[in-house]
């Protein structure tokens, strides 16, 4: 009789071990994709918010430099900035301080749908889907420019007696 050789145990992974490893890898890849998608959306939203802030600040500067100065009320318009169209809504408010107006500017993408389409009867602030708001003040009590240069030096002080 031929002596039987002892059975060698085969080395490697069992089918169960491979299935468990694939499950763990699938969960890890899914979590990584979710994180990457969320990060990309955040970057896009922050870019839009920054551009909208610049549009609002530019609008405030335009108002400050315009002649004649605006009166209290609400105005809307559109502008092109950074290769995109933006809608703005400005409100000039009398602050009950002589010579002082407050300017509130809200900015949204021109493609953003107004909220009143989904919620009829909402107030005006909720109708404008603003990405950002900027606030500024406008002094109306400034004198007209002239050719006189003011003297910014102080007159000499009289000597004090001990």
In a domain, 70, yes or no: yes
Q: Establish if 47 belongs to a structural domain.
A: yes
- Quick: pLDDT tens for 66-124: 888 888 999 999 999 999 999 999 999 988 887 888 999 999 998 876 654 444 444 55
Number of domains the chain contains = 1
Alpha helices in 66-138 (DSSP H): 124-127
Tell me, yes or no, whether 159 lies in a domain: no
| Residue 23: inside a domain | no
Q: Is residue 81 part of a domain?
A: yes
Q: Would 145 be classed as within a structural domain?
A: no
Q: Residue 100 belongs to a domain with what CATH number?
A: 3.30.1300.30
**Helix, strand, coil share of the chain (percent; to 5):** 35, 25, 40
55 in any annotated domain? yes
Domain interval for residue 72:
36-139
Quote the pLDDT of residue 135: 96
pLDDT in tens, 127-136: 788 999 999 9
CA 71 from chain centre, in angstroms, equals 27
Check whether 143 has a pLDDT greater than 80. Answer: no
Considering the domain boundaries, does residue 8 fall inside one? no
> Based on C-alpha coordinates, what's the Rg of the chain?
34
Average pLDDT, the chain: 83
Q: Which of 147, 76, 138 lies closest to 107 in space, CA to CA? A: 76
């Amino acid at each position: 009789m031929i002596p039987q050789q002892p059975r060698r145990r085969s080395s490697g992974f069992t089918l169960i071990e491979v299935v468990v490893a694939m499950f763990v890898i699938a969960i890890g890849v899914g979590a990584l994709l979710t994180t990457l998608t969320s990060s990309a959306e955040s970057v896009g939203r922050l870019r839009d918010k920054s551009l909208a802030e610049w549009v609002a600040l530019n609008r405030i500067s335009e108002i400050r430099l315009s002649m004649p100065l605006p009166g209290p009320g609400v105005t809307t318009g559109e502008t092109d900035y950074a290769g995109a169209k933006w809608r703005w809504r400005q409100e000039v408010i009398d602050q009950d301080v002589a010579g002082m107006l407050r300017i509130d500017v809200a900015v949204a993408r021109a493609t953003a749908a107004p909220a009143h389409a989904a919620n009829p009867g909402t107030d005006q602030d909720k109708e404008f889907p603003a990405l950002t708001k900027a606030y500024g003040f406008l002094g109306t009590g400034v004198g007209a420019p002239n050719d006189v240069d003011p003297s910014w030096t102080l007159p000499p002080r009289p000597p004090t007696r001990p």
